[in-house]
Amino acid sequence: MRLTLGDRILKVNHAGEHGAVHIYAGQRLLARFTAPAVCAGLADKQAHETRHRAIFAAELARRALPRCRSYWLCAMGGYFLGICTGLLGAQAIAATTVAVERVVLLHLQQQLQTLQGQDSAATESIEAILADEQAHHDDAAAQLKPGQFWPRLLDPLVAGATSAVIWLGMRL
């Protein structure tokens, strides 16, 4: 069975949302101790990511497609990233969200341009999550304090890892 570009994009996005659910799960686990003030916001973001994952899962099911091979890699990597940044506190949590969402938003915009006029169902699925992803980015960016250490360290690492996972997922 030959996958269309829209099929591959949906599979990767589904896996990415699974990873995002696990980032927030790991952060929530430790933020209770290191940054309790952000826990409610993390729960809201995790609920959004769970809904996003369901949107992509429904479209995969409609197309009778299996999950992406990177699905569990995204979960394990996301949970590890969430645990590590949750341990480091509110600024690390916010910096992680900004870095991930910046890459994801760019990726989603590129997908929409690529799919324009080719796959309306995939396009609709992507458009259904864009506002939430932008809100996650903007909310986290507003929480960052100027001159903090964690954003400077984590931004290139997290953005690079996120880009690498997307690249790998598109090729698995």
- Domain that includes residue 106, residue range: 5-171
For position 172, what pLDDT does the model report? 80
> How distant, in Å, are the alpha carbons of 19, 41, 56, 61, 113 from that of 80?
10, 20, 23, 28, 32
pLDDT tens, position by position, 116-135: 999 999 999 999 999 999 99
- Name 79's Cβ contacts closer than 8 Å, sequence gap at least 6: 22, 23, 25, 26
CATH number at residue 70: 1.20.1260.10
Rounded mean pLDDT, 66-76 = 95
**How far apart are alpha carbons 52 and 160 in whole angstroms?**
22
Structural domain count, the chain:
1
pTM across the whole model = 0.95
For position 15, what pLDDT does the model report? 97
